[in-house]
Structure 1
Amino acid sequence: MKKVLLASVALGLLLSSCSKKSGNDVHTNPPVYKAPVVAAGFAKGADISWVTQMESSGVKFYDKSGAQKDLFALLKSLGFTSIRLRAWVNPSDGWCNTADVVAKAKRAQNAGMKIMIDFHYSDSWADPGKQPKPAAWTGLDFATLVTTLHDYTVATMNTLKTNGITPDWAQVGNEVDDGMLWEDGRASAHMANFAALVEAGYQAVKSVSSTTKVIVHVSNGFDNDLFRYLFDGLKNNGAHWDIIGMSLYPSTTNYTTLDTQCQSNINDMVARYGTPVMLCEIGMQANQPGISRDFLTDIITKVNAISNNNGLGVFYWEPEAYNWQGYGLGAFDNTGKPTIALDAFSN
C-alpha cells in the first residue's frame, strides 16, 4: 500500500510538472487589457447624432453592470472626451436640424465634452455616393449658392454661440471625395467651384469663432491617391482648411493592412500640406467586439504616434446604435450595454 501511495504521489508530481511546462495550467489568468495611452488633448470621440431620435423612440442605454445611464455621461465614464454632431439644413423629420444640434451640443458641453459640428450642407445624408443640395437651394445660381452656404454656416454658428457653445471643430462638408452640392460643386467636373464652397464655409466659421478648427473630411483614409488629388485641387484653387479629416471602416480581416496604409497617408498629408489629421469616422462590426477592440487599439496607437502631435484624434461613428435602423457597426450589444470594443478609449 505504501509503495502504491508513493507511486501515486510521484505520478501526480510528474503530471503537474508537465502541465506547467506545457503552459496548460488551468489557473493561469489571461493578460489584462491595457488601453493605448495617448497625448494630452488627443480627441477620443464619438458621433452620436442619432441619440435624440433613439431616445424619442424609447431606446435606453446601460452601463456594463446594467444600470440605465444618460448616454453622454456613460460615454464620458468610458473615456470619451469629444462628441461629433451632424448638421442638416432642413430635414423632413427635424432630426439633426439646427435646433436638434443645439440641444445635443448643450448636453455634450454639460458633460464636459469637446464638440465637432459636421455640416453636411444637405437636408439628409451626404457621402461619397451622393451630395444632394438642400431642397431650398436647388434653384440657386452658383454665386448665390456660395453666399447661401456662407450665410447658413454663420447662422448655425451664431445660434450655437447664443446658446453658449463654441465648437472646437467644424467640418465643411461630409466625406467630400468628389466635392459637395452636386452638380455645381462636383470636384471632378468643377474643382474651382468646390474650392469656392469650401472657402465660403471656412470663412463663415472663422467669422464667428476664430478658434474653431475647420476640417475638410474625405472617406477611405487609406487611399493616398484620392487625398492627394482632392487636397491638391483645393490648394491650387485657393481653399483653406485647418485639419484633414478621414473615415476608416475596415473589415475584421483587413484592418491591420488598412491601418498601416492610413498611417502612411496621414504622414504624407502632414508633410505635403503642413496640416494635422483627425479620423472623424471609424467603425467595425458590433458582433465582433474583440476584434473591434484590437482594431481600435491599433488605429488609436498609430494616429497618436504621428510626429509632433499631428494625429489629433479618433471618432467612433454611432457606437450607441443597437437594434437601430439595421446599423451593424456600432459598439453596444443588443441589450444596450457597451461592448469591450470601447475599452480602447478608456485611458
Structure 2
Amino acid sequence: MKKIFYFLPLFFIVFHSTLHFGQAFSKGADVSWLPQMEATGYQFYDADGSKKDCLQLLKDRGMNTVRLRVFVNPNDDKASGHCSKDETVAFALRAQKMGFRIMIDFHYSDSWADPAKQNKPAAWAKLPFDQLAQAVYNHTFEVMTALKKAKVKTEWVQVGNEIPGGMLWPDGSTDNWKQLGILLNKGYDAVKAVDKSIKVIVHLDEGDNNAKFRTFFDNATAQNVKYDVIGLSYYPFWVKKDYTETIANLAFNLKDMVNRYNKEVMVVEVGGEYDKVQNTKELLEATIKAVKNVPNNKGLGVLYWEPQGEKSWSHYSLSAWLADGKPSPALDAFKEN
C-alpha cells in the first residue's frame, strides 16, 4: 500500500505538469478563410470520410489556438475580402466556445498587408499623419472593445502584419522610423486600454533571416516601440529552399531575439507544400521543436497559415488539406508534439 500511496501523488504531479505546459504552448492556425469556405458550400471531412466541423478537425489534431485577421473596410471577395470587425468578432466567439485561444491580426488595410504592400485603408488615404495615427488607435480600440463586449478573451494581438518595411505606406515606412514608431505605439496603447493582459506582437516575415530582424528591432528599440512578443513567419518555400537548409537559422534567430531584446517569440505563420505531405510534416515537427527549445519557456507557439484553405478553393499551394476535403496527415505534427 505504501508503494501505491507514494506512486499516485508522483504520477499526479507529472501528469498535471505535462497538462499545464501542454496548454501553455500554443499550437494552432490562422483560419480566417473558413467562414467564406463554409458560405460557398465547401465540405470538410475526417479521415474516415465523416463530415465534420473544420474547427473540430483541427482541435482533434492537437490545435488549441486560432488567429483571425481584421481588415478595415473590406470588400466581399471570398478570398481577399471579408474579415470585418463584426465577422471577426462572430468567428472569434465561435472558436472560443470550442475551447480555442484567440489571436487577432490587424492588417490596417482594406485587404492584404504584407512585405510587398502596406496600403492604407481608402478611408484613411488622405489623412494628415496625426489623424492617421489616431485612426490606428480608434480602429484598434473599436475592434478590441467589440471583442471584449462579446466576452471573447483575446490572448494576443498583432499590430500590423509582416511589416519589415513598416506599415501604412508611405507615412509608416521604415524610411521614417519616427512615424512608424508612433503608429505601432498607438496600436499597442489601444490594445492595452481595453485589456492590459493581452500580449502585443510585432511581426516580420523570413523568420530565419537574423539580419532582417536585428535591423528592424534595433530601430524599434531606438524609437521606444512598445511590444511584448516578436512574431515570425517561416516559409522555406518562398525563399526557394528546403526547411533542412533554413531550420538552424530559425532556431538561432528565435534565441537571439529573446537574448537581444528580452522578449518572447512565436512563429505566427508557417506553411509547407500541400502535395509534399511528409516534408511538410517534418517541417512542422522541426519548427515546433525549435520554438520549444527557446530557453525559459519564451517560445510561445507555432501557428499554420490557413491549413484548411484547400487549393481548389483558395488556389494556395501551402495549405495542408487534401483534395477530398480531408486534413493532410502533415497536421499530425501538432498532435504528436
TM-score by length of structure 1 reads 0.87
1:277 maps to which of 241, 261, 265:
265
Counterpart of 2:86 in structure 1 is 99
Give secondary structure in 2 for the equivalent of 1:68. coil
Deviation readout 1:15-60 (Å, 9 max, x if unpaired): xxxxxxxxxxxxxxxxxxxxxxx75411001000000111111101
User: What amino acid does structure 2 have at the position aligned with 1:130?
Assistant: K
Look up the SS of the partner of 2:285 in the other structure. helix
Measure, in 2, the Cα distance between the counterparts of 1:64 and 1:203: 45
Residue of structure 2 aligned with 1:213, choices 187, 190, 199 = 199
SS of equivalent to 1:316:
strand
- 1:327 aligns with 316
In structure 1, the partner of 2:56 is 73
Query: Residue 125 of structure 2 aligns to which amino acid in structure 1?
Result: T
1:17-166 equivalence runs, <5 A: 39-93=22-76, 95-166=82-153
Q: How far apart, CA to CA, are the structure 2 residues paired with 1:71 and 1:99?
A: 21
Deviations 1:206-241 (A, max 9, x none): 000111100000000011111111111111111110
Letter in 1 for 2:75: S
What letter is aligned with 2:248? T
Question: Which residue identity is paired with 1:191?
Answer: W
Where 2:154 maps in the other structure, the secondary structure is coil
Alignment partner of 1:306 is 2:289? no
Q: Is the 8 A contact 1:172 1:214 kept in 2?
A: yes
SS of the counterpart of 1:227?
A: helix
Q: 1:86 to 1:194 in 2, by over 3 A?
A: same
CA distance in structure 2 between the aligned counterparts of 1:181 and 1:222, rounded to whole angstroms:
25
- Structure 1 unaligned residues grouped into runs of 5+: 1-37
Give how far 1:325 is off. Answer: 2.7
Alignment equivalent of 1:267, drawn from 247, 255, 274: 255
Aligned 8 A contact 2:281 2:332 in 1: yes
8 Å Cα contact 2:57/2:327 also seen in 1: no
- Residue 159 of structure 1: SS of its match in structure 2? helix
Q: Distance in 1 between matches of 2:178 and 2:254?
A: 25
Q: Quote the Cα distance in structure 2 between the aligned partners of 1:326 and 1:77.
A: 25
Q: Distance in 2 between matches of 1:287 and 1:281?
A: 19
Cα displacement string for residues 293-341 of structure 1 (whole angstroms, at most 9, x for unaligned residues)? 0111111111111110111100000000111231111111001101110
**Structure 1 segment 2-17 matched on structure 2, within 5 A:** none
Aligned mates of 1:317, 1:158 — CA distance in 2: 26
Question: What is the Cα-based RMSD across aligned positions, in Å?
Answer: 1.3
Offset at residue 166 of structure 1 (A): 2.1
Letter paired with 1:300: I
- Read off the aligned partner of 2:32 and give its amino acid letter: S
Give % identity. Answer: 45
In the superposition, the TM-score normalised over structure 2's length comes to 0.90
Which runs of no fewer than 5 residues in structure 2 stay unpaired?
A: 1-20
- SS of 1:96's partner is coil
Mapping for residues 199-210 of structure 1, pairs under 5 Å: 199-210=185-196
Deviations 1:58-88 (A, max 9, x none): 1011111111111111111111000000000
Map of 1:19 onto structure 2? none
Matched, 1:296 2:284: yes
* 3-state SS, counterpart of residue 27 of structure 2: strand
Q: 1:175 aligned to 146, 162, 177, which one?
A: 162
Alignment-derived partner of residue 328 in structure 2: 339
- Counterparts of 2:186 and 2:150, CA distance in 1: 24
Q: Which is helix-richer, 1 or 2? A: 2
SS of the residue 1:330 aligns to: coil
- What amino acid sits opposite 2:279 in the alignment? I
Matched residue, 2:15:
none
Equivalent-residue separation in structure 2 for 1:302 and 1:333 (angstroms)? 27
Contact 1:166–1:209 (8 Å) recurs in 2: no
Q: 2:229 aligns with which of 240, 243, 246?
A: 243
Determine the C-alpha separation between the residues in 1 that align with 2:66 and 2:230.
Answer: 18
